[in-house]
Amino acid sequence: MMQGKPNREIIVCRDAAALATTVVDKIIDAASEAIATRGRFTLVLSGGSTPKAAYALLAERKASVDWSKTWLFFGDERVVPHDDARSNYHLASESLLRPAGIAREHVFAVPTHLPTSGECAAAYESTLRSFFNDAGDATFPAFDLVLLGLGDDGHTASLFPGKPAVHEKKAWVTWSPPGVLPPPVDRVTLTLPTINSARKIAFLVGGAGKATIVGELLASGATSDKYPAGLVQPTHGHAVWLLDEAAASQLSPEH
């Protein structure tokens, strides 16, 4: 393990399988702590392909989580039908939700069927506000654990470099046109203030293809919107970067 900035921890795992195991251990520990302390566990699932192995392993280890006290959300979603192979809900459903038998009423999918992406984002925000019983004040939801991926352009969730969504300061959820990476469809995404209000944030990054961006991001401490992932700075919580050795190969020991 390497220690990053004061509230940032970096854990390097041997390979993809070890990364998946570490992610699942973190989820199980966070669930146990949240349920013991607050009576429920709110988990935000990441999109992309990296989490697939971790979701499948979590389904195998489903007995380690009290799903009756666990609620699942999505950090971002592609504005496509939920049965579309590009959908983050589809990935989670195939690898975790169905295999683990998680009840639909414990899963809050992002609506993607409304006429505009903006309406999809507003509807999801309304769902979150209802769940967190928000009285409409300025606070943001404190998810117990937010899982995030990292694109090799420095994006996370669907906060793409140079897009307005990165600078949204009031809304809990917003939408974005596509970034430079596929698929070229609109997205719905949690905003940075929402992500940064989480109690725990875990980045899951694997593969040699991410080594350059990981090195640039964690070495330089980049905090410009050039790399939106670098703007993830938990307000009160703690961020851990879970990497495999391939993704960490350009990190120097002191990071």
Residues 84-143 that bind ligand 6PG (CB under 6 A): 88
Residue position matching structure tokens 């404190």: 142
Q: Which one of 61-69, 115-123, 127-135, 155-163 is the stretch in contact with ligand 6PG (CB under 6 A)?
A: 155-163
Choose between 90 and 255: whose C-beta lies nearer to ligand 6PG. 90
* 47 lies in the site for ligand 6PG, by CB under 6 A: yes
Rounded Cα–Cα distance for residues 123 and 46 (Å): 19
CA distances to 108, 157, 178 from 227, rounded to whole Å, are 28, 12, 16
Decide if 141 contacts 190 (C-beta within 8 A): no
Q: Are the beta carbons of 163 and 177 closer than 8 angstroms?
A: yes
Applying CB under 6 A, among 34, 43, 48, 168 the residue interacting with ligand 6PG is 48
- The strand pair at 187-190 and 76-78 is best described as antiparallel
Among 49, 116, 130, 235, which residue interacts with ligand 6PG (rule: CB under 6 A)? 49
Nearer CB in complex with ligand 6PG: 32/251: 251
- CA 142, distance to chain mean position in Å, is 14
Contact status: 186 vs ligand 6PG (CB under 6 A): no
Residue with tokens 């280890």: 61
Select the span of 146-154, 165-173, 192-200, 241-249 touching ligand 6PG (CB under 6 A): 146-154
| Contact call for residue 151 and ligand 6PG (CB under 6 A) | yes
Identify the three-state secondary structure at position 32: helix
- Does residue number 228 form part of the binding site for ligand 6PG (CB under 6 A)? no
Question: Where on the chain is the footprint of ligand 6PG (CB under 6 A)?
Answer: 46-50, 76, 78, 88, 149-151, 155-158
